Amino acid sequence: MPLLTGFVLALLAGVIMGFSGWSIKLVRVWKWENFWLVYAIVSLIIAPTVLAYILLPHLNQVYASLTPHEILLPFGLGLLWGLAQLGAGVTLYRLGLAVSGAVLNGVGVAVGTLMPLFMLHSSVLLQKSGLYILFGIAVTVTGVALCGWSGYRREGQAKSQGRGAGFSSSESAMAQTGSTPKQYILYLSIAVISGVLSSLLNIALAYSTGILDKVRTQGGRAAWAPFAIWPIALLGGSVVNVAYSVYLLSKNKSWGYFSMKYGEVVYPTLMALMWMGGIALYSSSTTFLGTLGVSIGFALFTITMIICGQSAAVITGEWSLMERSIYRSFYMGIFFLVLAVIAIGTANYYQQ
């Protein structure tokens, strides 16, 4: 039963996170920097802090008892991870939900799954569970490559049709013309680098067992104990995201958009709450998935997030009016990602 609970929580976390980016397409007045400032403050500072203090008892005593190393490790990893979060925002805006989600999260699942496995459970690699994980990662990379190639072809066709591939003018104030091939490769590179750095949040979770132990000592539930890590790690991540948003708001003189339609605060807030909800469910799932919970849970969570992000992209029309061959390679990529979920789920079965 705990195994099934962990599996379901990881999948549900991926669904919530995968669809969270949809709300950026509902914006009509605010610019990217307006949206991202609110999103960063709510998702990286307010939501994780409120969640931890509501669900965990004696949290002040827990934090007071931490050594400098126990604080600086998740904060530092979170600070570097913040670059990945910023890259995610930029590529979401420039490439749309489909390509940014597939490439960034695909690279993230490979690195974020393998690093804890190599560093903490290297003996498992040659067992059946380890081999299934490696197979699942290889299949994931194949699926991501197909989605990325499809996106590259989509960009070219969208440009020939005189429209942007990610946001149409009727959808969002952030609509733009299609990227040049060089720009597309640049943004794709940012997505790859962000994918590598995105794994650092999972590493922060894997190496913060001291915090988890102290939360449980103070009476915190094991499934909720990881929530104590997020106010520290995500505060680190907020530094670069808030700073860059403020820089763009001043540079582009877009502070005034906040007052032009203040009701649009709903959209970044919704995205932030869905994002934090996904992180919370994922971190809880790792406590039910056994020895390899951090590796397997992260893989299931991220691959499901990719699939749901692609679904959101299809529903919002990012792939409309495309040639059939582009559709075929895109859906083949999705097929490989689904296969990867099955392979990694099988790995967890053998580990148990």
Helix and strand tally (H, E) in the chain? 14, 0
- Confidence check: pLDDT of 252 > 80: yes
What lies within 8 Å, CB to CB, of 14 at 6+ separation is 278, 282, 300, 301, 302, 303, 304, 305, 306, 307, 308
For residue 345, the model assigns a pLDDT of 64
> Which residues constitute the domain of residue 149?
2-351
Q: How many domains does the chain have?
A: 1
φ/ψ region of 332 (left if φ > 0, alpha if ψ in -120 to 50, else beta) reads alpha
For residue 179, the model assigns a pLDDT of 61
For residue 199, the model assigns a pLDDT of 78
Distance (Å, whole) CA 98 – CA 103: 9
pLDDT tier at 351, thresholds 50, 70, 90:
low
DSSP labels for 260-302? H-GGGGHHHHHHHHHHHHHHHHHHHHTTTS-TTHHHHHHHHHH
Angle at 330 between CA 183 and CA 135, to 5 degrees: 105
For residue 143, the model assigns a pLDDT of 84
For residue 122, the model assigns a pLDDT of 65
Highest mean pLDDT pick, 55-64, 188-197, 201-210, 326-335: 55-64
Q: Which pTM value belongs to this model?
A: 0.80
pLDDT tier at 272, thresholds 50, 70, 90:
very high
Highest mean pLDDT pick, 158-167, 171-180, 181-190, 221-230: 221-230
Task: Return the amino acid letter for 73.
Answer: L
Task: Return the amino acid letter for 258.
Answer: F
Higher pLDDT: 153 or 159? It is: 153
| Phi, psi of 45, deg, nearest 5 | -120, -60
- Confidence check: pLDDT of 312 > 90: no
Highest mean pLDDT pick, 95-99, 237-241, 321-325, 333-337: 237-241
Higher pLDDT: 64 or 332? It is: 64
Query: Which tokens sit at 2?
Result: 């705990």
Query: pLDDT by residue (tens digit) across 102-128?
Result: 777 777 777 766 676 666 666 666 677
Distance (Å, whole) CA 286 – CA 300: 11
